[in-house]
Amino acid sequence: MKGILDGIRVVDLARFVAGPYCAMLLGDMGAEVIKVEKPGGDEQRHMDPKVDDLSTYYIVGNRNKKSLTLNFKSEEGKKILTKLFETTDVVVENFRPGVMERLGFGYEDLKKINPRIILTSVSGFGQDGPLAQKPAFDSIAQAMGGLMATTGTGGPTLAGTWVGDYSAGLYAAFGTMLALYARQTTGVGQHIDVALLDSVASWSRTAIPDFLMFGKKPTRNGGRDVYHCPIGPFETKDGYVYITAATDAQYAGVCRAAGHPEWLQDDRMNKEAVRLKNKDLVNSSLEAWTKTVTTQEALQKISAEDCPCAPINDIEGVLNNEQTKYREMYSWVETDKGFKVAVPGIVVKLSDTPGYIRCAPPSVGNYNDEFYTGLGYTPEQIREMYEKKII
């Protein structure tokens, strides 16, 4: 099977989450992704829990890649990396700004090696600006980008996943695709600069115009929505159900499901504008009903009225969901050492050139023999490079 990016070579110099995730997305669509790791392998491989040298942390961002070990801070390593860049389309990196330049592989240097090369840089705060040199991880971006201030019900709360990392990885993959498209016309590559802070701030929804135009700041509302009512989690006999009645028609359906058509005649609850003003009354009235039924009963009644609702799943519920299974949102794959590992599925479904999982995350240096032999190194020379910790 060929993917839309078949024939594109990506060199992944990145670590942690955002950069590797970007490179993996390109690999899912057919690109050859060579993950360059330090001798002994990326430190993320060895975090618990793990299978052999593959931690779950490493697994989720490194399928569809080949592993090449190389100390590219050494003179011999730099020569080898330069040779690799001659036939590379995209380089993905997430070092602190300036590191690539100090290594001799900044974008201006890469253009001299290969004018068609695209450099995709992911960092905490971007390649320039007053904060560019500050260290950052996802949590810092969530705090500084405004997400943490609007999450939770009490104090500022970290989101349940690496929102900054994954959104930056998505933006980086999107930018890379745009650069590949532009290269078809220009014949030359370009430098892509994606910041975690920018990525988190971009998800602020209407908060930016709300504040700049009306001086209004968003508040922490937990599971409730500030623009529509009723929207949120409602307690049932045996758990919770999430209900989204964003329109008057959907609210009417909820009223029928609850057996309270009189709510539609109540001037405090019959229109969206007044429901927002009286949200405590609306929410408490609805929850008084949901507490009398099980989660499944609530779902059946509300779904019958074509109103959006859902169970609040933990990860077991997510993976057992019939739609998740149908959409193939997880797979079991076999590593090159024969271990079975679980990986997330591919989100983007293309009708004619779909992405696909060609291989599990690689064992350390599984591409070494093929690559270095192809460069003309003898087995003795390769063994010597191992001994000198060049590879």
Active site residues: 165
Coil, strand, or helix at residue 194? strand
What residue has token string 């758990």? Answer: 239
Q: What angle do CA 300, 303, 309 make, to 5 degrees?
A: 100
Q: Which long-range contacts (CB under 8 A, 24 or more apart) does 334-339 make?
A: 334/360, 335/51, 335/52, 335/54, 335/360, 335/361, 335/362, 335/363, 336/360, 336/362, 336/363, 336/366, 337/52, 337/363, 339/51, 339/52, 339/54
- Contact between residue 19 and residue 172 where contact means Cβ atoms under 8 Å apart: yes
SS3 235: strand
Which secondary-structure segment (H or E) carries 294?
none
Query: Within its chain, how far is the Cα of 69 from the centroid?
Result: 25
User: How far, in Å, are 234, 290, 291 from residue 285 at the CA level?
Assistant: 11, 9, 10
Q: How far apart are CA 272 and CA 290, in angstroms?
A: 20
Compute the 3-state secondary structure of the chain and give helix, strand, coil in percent, each to the nearest 5: 40, 15, 45
Main-chain dihedrals φ then ψ at residue 73, nearest 5 degrees: -90, -20
The b/e string for 345-378 (b: 16+ C-beta within 10 A; e otherwise) is ebeeeeeeeebebeebbbbbbbbbeebbeeeebe
The bridge status of strand 191-195 relative to strand 118-123 is parallel
Cα distances (angstroms) measured from residue 181 to each of 176, 186, 199, 323: 9, 9, 22, 33
CB 10 within 8 A of CB 34: yes
**CA-based nearest residue to 103, from 138, 70, 67:** 70
